[in-house]
Amino acid sequence: MPTRSTPGRRAHRRRRTGLTLTVAAVAAASLVGGVLLSTADESVAAPPSTYKVKGVDTSHHNHDATGEPIDWKRVAQSNSFAFLKATQGTGYQDPWFARDFKAASGTSMLRAPYHFFDPESTTDGGAQADHFIRTAKAAGYTGQKAGELPPVLDVEGTWQNGQEVCPKALRAGQLTVFLDRVEAAFKVKPIVYTRASFVNGCMSGKGEVFKDHPLWLARYESGSSEPQDVPGAGAWSLWQYTESESIPGLPGKNGTTGKGDRNVFRGTLDQLRDLAEGGGTPPEQPGTSWPTVEPGQKGVDVTTVQLLLGAHGYATTADGVFGTGTATKVKAFQKAEGLTADGIVGPDTWTRLIVTAKQGSKGDAVKALQRQLAAHGHDITADGVFGTGTATQVKAFQKAEGLTPDGIAGPATWAALVG
């Protein structure tokens, strides 16, 4: 989501660093001399290609090279949603926003405007919100029309002299004011674009201000490393995985196809439509249903919970009995994830617990997967190693359930296994 060039003000350019990350380490970031240094670890899971609902985000940068309009009907042929830059700070309006929003609204794509949060003082959150609201409404956005996704707040560092730095005037209270005012104006909870390393490095890890907002997180060139959870706010609903994908319909130099940002949605197209029609509550992960597992229960679903807790560092005996020890670990996990710590594993807790596994994965999550497959009648040993045999059994299960038989145990497969 490139976001620079407010006339007469500092330039903004979103860039991503190639972070070197390990699965087991804890996220960390530090601020040295105003520069955000990310050492955050990303969780290895599924590649973007696993997720089928894709979309774009655009700004005037997609026009700058040619001065030509976007062919939104062509973009809509390969994308289900679009986010369009409307404003930045308290006064800047993207010169292409109104035209692009009108054209995108004439296609099948779900869409919404976004605002780049650019504080010039520690108290201008309300002024930024008012500027965004006026601009979005002037373009015809209401937050309530068919096909309109919730509005977006973009919160990230700025780039100065080739380094990402924290906005000096950024305060959590400003973000609360902005989010509350925008929600009141459009009657829907905004989506938040950010990343965990920014929250750790520029907000002292206090991501609670984003709790209950759908999260759109960035993680580039990462293979199967998904964006890390935002502390106090949770996991991603949308993932921006590249800024340089060729997208038919975007104008490029000399008549070529232009390149831009590409995103995936962590759910089905129907779930994204529900988000557009009914509000900003993060959707349940793909799948038919998630069971409720609570104290006093026994069986393979309890064992699965216990093993998945272990995979997240909350080790407990995987005996298939939901006793006080398991309840304590569940509560600790829920608290760390910003969930209600009631010790009951329902849909919200399941979607945080599950770990996408594929060939080459090892550990308790794989063992939980294997035990579930065995409970469904598959001939498999629960050794915690995802080899070719496990891949074969996963594909067989997926085929029987009407899922894409790709051999990757992602959200939809987990939901079918435990549901």
The rounded distance, in Å, linking the Cα atoms of 34 and 128 is 23
The rounded distance, in Å, linking the Cα atoms of 239 and 237 is 7
pLDDT along the chain (419 residues), means of 10: 39 34 26 37 65 95 94 94 98 97 94 97 97 97 92 92 90 96 95 95 94 93 82 93 94 93 91 72 51 94 96 94 96 88 92 89 95 94 95 92 86 88
Whole-number CA gyration radius for the chain: 22
Q: Exposed (0-12), middle (13-18) or buried (19+): which is 8, by Cβ within 10 Å?
A: exposed
* CB-based contact 272:286 (threshold 8 Å): no
* CB-based contact 84:111 (threshold 8 Å): yes
Q: What is the DSSP string of 54-84?
A: EEEEE-THHHHTT-PPP-HHHHHTS-SEEEE
Tokens of 238: 């949308």
Query: For the whole model, what pTM was predicted?
Result: 0.63
- Looking up tokens 């109104």 gives 98
Report pLDDT for 277: 60
Tokens of 344: 């009951």
Q: What are phi and psi of 11, to 5 degrees?
A: -80, 145
**β-pairing, 225-226 with 43-44?**
antiparallel
DSSP annotation of 50: G
